[in-house]
Structure 1
């Protein structure tokens, strides 16, 4: 009887998704380093997921995606884990809200004044707006946020795309021919999240690069996917050892970046500043 009570208490104690992921990892005989290798997520972030301490993750946008990747690594149903994490995020948001005293309408002495009533209405509206923004930002990367980010990226990239179409590639190293099979290598200048989108704009694969970590894009990815990242200045892109320069404005979501060597080199040539010939002097 005592053993059954202890087991029941142990089951009741496991109330967070992080506990479930940790127990699955231990049952599979995996270390955090093993899961980090499988998911390409840093051990620091994996520890935060196991503790359900989502504030330590790079942003709530990626909490659900990271948790689903962890679930795949330990053979847990990723859709169920993703839904569980979203519920926990929503519960945390509700728990952080201030509580207001309820007035009894039957007691005239305790009826709120008009000023207090308007204050409560404004505060409630602000809280509702904040909750709506949080719900929008807390969905995982392959849902509604991706669609909104795609639209924002298309609008922000429209001027640069037009410029690239009208400015011819310059002669010299930036405009030199490049082999179609030249290796495309991504290097993290600082910790950076990158994703690979299919033809429909859906992010099929994502990973985190640590500072100095390199990742050579597989040929199949080059043909089938485009690149996205939200911290362009933290990512260095080289084609055949040639740095193609910045792929977008700092701290701005960029997506739809073609990984084909010729496109990357042409993009670098189009973004290179034009040179003005020195004025001639009469002697």
Structure 2
């Protein structure tokens, strides 16, 4: 069984490139690029660039190698052998600057990203804990407006005359089914597209102009030069900025599910970097 798995990868040297080897092996197994995209969750345009050995169209080499390993794993090939072959192939090509892309792409192996169900479960638990803590504080930590050194009898009289204020229950946050609305705060160029790289919007938005991301769009993403010029809301609630000021970003997910998961992660990062924390 191991010999059969390693045999296709061992023949990679006989092809012109790793991308050609992956394409021919895919066709040999009667699979389409859509089949590979479903298995690996790699965007279609990256799969096409990988098969065409168009390295300039891919992010940094670390991410490209991760894509190739996930592709090979989907075909049942030796992914480490594929990674080594691709490193040699990239090493013989002219160098090019991918620093800008490296800052804006997700981890190299999309197949190993945390399941969405796990992220949403953690977020729901956090909301329930916050709400429960607020209720507990309302019942057991109501402050006494009188002298804290009063006797028990006087404290009971004051308590009976003063209504106990209950902490309000925190409202439920936005959900993955809520609408996503983008509002320009200043003139800014944007391109919004789906996972198949089909353009949903490409224009220069005027200040105050809004765009609601279509609910039926599959894996919508954005390319924008100035993220600070755009306000993003999910169900009417503003979420964290899409990126740092004055830095172009692309391939950033803007579905409600992606934004809420990113917002939760951004809050945790900010808390960890606050003064006095380690």
Q: Same fold (TM over 0.5)?
A: no
TM-score (norm 2): 0.40
TM-score (norm 1): 0.39
